Chain A
């Protein structure tokens, strides 16, 4: 069964600090991996998307990495801001299929404090 596991479940950091969120998956064959940011009470918004051939992708202070061999991805947030407080969801897509084949993680809830 395809699975996506994210860690930690939740995280609290001070403003200005860096942090790294992890995503491990078992989806195979694998096409791409997306990281979404979801603010409380809002819908998810895409941050990055990486195909199996890419190993890093940046979007401002967000940098995602991918190791397709070990089936691991990470999202690194640099110089965190209060507005980074949100849930971060990892979503893995197989090579073929429809939306029902997307596998979502449960997310990491990040809180950035003063």
Chain B
């Protein structure tokens, strides 16, 4: 595997479910990111991790809970989501924190019913 991978690619969940999104990067990067992409809206940065430590949380509701066990893996735990949370969730990584080029994964298409 090369680049940034994400699983699952598609997820349908009810509002009372608990699920997790997984991201893995094979680029030797130290920073990882979660973005939300909704239709006709710019990408919204959710969380930033640098060397496993969370460095940014852009006022994301607590029903989204990130976890970064090491520099290569990033999770997004989901619980009691709302229909408006349906979107494409993109993971990205970069060499380091800051304004380095980010490499994106293919995304997880999430539908909340």
| A interface residues (Cβ-Cβ under 8 A, vs B) | 4, 9, 31-32, 34, 41-46, 49, 89, 93-94, 96-107
Contact = CB atoms under 8 A, between A and B. Distances in A.
B43 A43 contact: no
Max chain B Cβ within 10 angstroms of own Cβ: one of A41, A44, A89, A101:
A44
Interface in B45-61: 45, 48, 55-56, 58
B107 interface: yes
Contact of B48 (A9, A44, A96, A99): A99
A93 B99 contact: yes
B33 A105 contact: no
B41 A106 contact: yes
B11 to A, nearest CB: 13
Given A31-B99, A41-B107, A45-B104, A99 B56 contact: yes
Nearest 9 A/B pairs, CB to CB: A43-B104, A104-B42, A104-B43, A93-B99, A42-B106, A44-B104, A43-B105, A43-B106, A106-B42
Contacts of A97: 98-99
B29 to A, nearest CB: 12
B96 to A, nearest CB: 10
B57 to A, nearest CB: 10
B31 to A, nearest CB: 8
Contacts of A4: 42
Interface string B64-78: 000000000000000
A35 to B, nearest CB: 12
Contacts of B9: 41
A98 B107 contact: no
B21 to A, nearest CB: 13
A42 B107 contact: yes
Contacts of A32: 99
Given A49-B101, A99-B45, 7 more contacts: A31-B99, A43-B92, A97-B99, A99-B48, A99-B56, A99-B98, A100-B56
